[in-house]
Amino acid sequence: MGAMRDLDPLDRLLAAADNALRTLAADSPPGRPSPAQGAARAPLAAAAQLEAGRLMRVNHAGEVAAQALYLGQALVARDPATRDTLLRAAAEEGDHLAWCAERLRELDAPRSALTPLWYAGSFAIGTLAGLAGDRWSLGFVIETERQVEQHLDGHLARLPEADQASQRILEQMKRDEVRHGQAARGAGGTDLPPLVRGAMRAVSKLMTRTAYRF
């Protein structure tokens, strides 16, 4: 993904399409080892495993969306420094995606059946956010990460206590999301209007509730 920084617009579009195919095929390895390595692997009761799988499916869907959002924004970013900020965040979101996919396999839980929709819709939203200008695009990152941090807190509270592997993954994801928001703020991002923040919360809630079930 780092090479995308040096591409012309058409090549960046092709690189984004390649990333979409890799994301949907779930065949991109993480750049960092999973935080779940070394976690205790106590067997989960059937109900606990089902709930953990549903929660991690939601998180996987969220990471699919994050990949698409940030690559859509990077595609139309005006300032190379803004593009770099977005691509660095997208690379770490790619790690999150791979970690969640691996954990879903361990929990014998399926990915969301609507994964292509999450990617396509989020890429479109990210592109629109980027077209609004770099300052607003980075503000979109700030608000996205703020809402994701709250979401992760909720899932950490709901995960079965015995599922230390999923807990470790979400804890590292949360640390990364906080850092992404801080980086976007430092790069010149501005707070979005309340109406936009509310619309983002509504879309996020719809996606999480749907991915939990499908």
Q: What distance in Å separates the CA atoms of residue 182 and residue 153, rounded to the nearest whole number?
A: 18
d(C-alpha 138, C-alpha 82), whole Å = 8
pLDDT at 39: 86
Model confidence at 109: pLDDT above 80 = yes
71 neighbors 13 (Cβ within 8 angstroms): no
Quick: pLDDT tens for 145-166: 999 999 999 999 999 999 999 9
At the topology level, CATH places domain 7-25+44-213 in Ferritin (1.20.1260)
Domain limits, the chain: 7-25+44-213
pLDDT confidence of 29, banded at 50, 70, 90? confident
Q: Looking at residue 211, what is its pLDDT? A: 96
Q: Please name which of 180, 187, 122, 192 lies closest in space to residue 149, comparing C-alpha atoms.
A: 180
pLDDT of residue 1: 53
User: Can you read off the two tokens belonging to residue 205?
Assistant: 């809630």
**Rounded Cα distance, 11 and 103, in Å:** 33
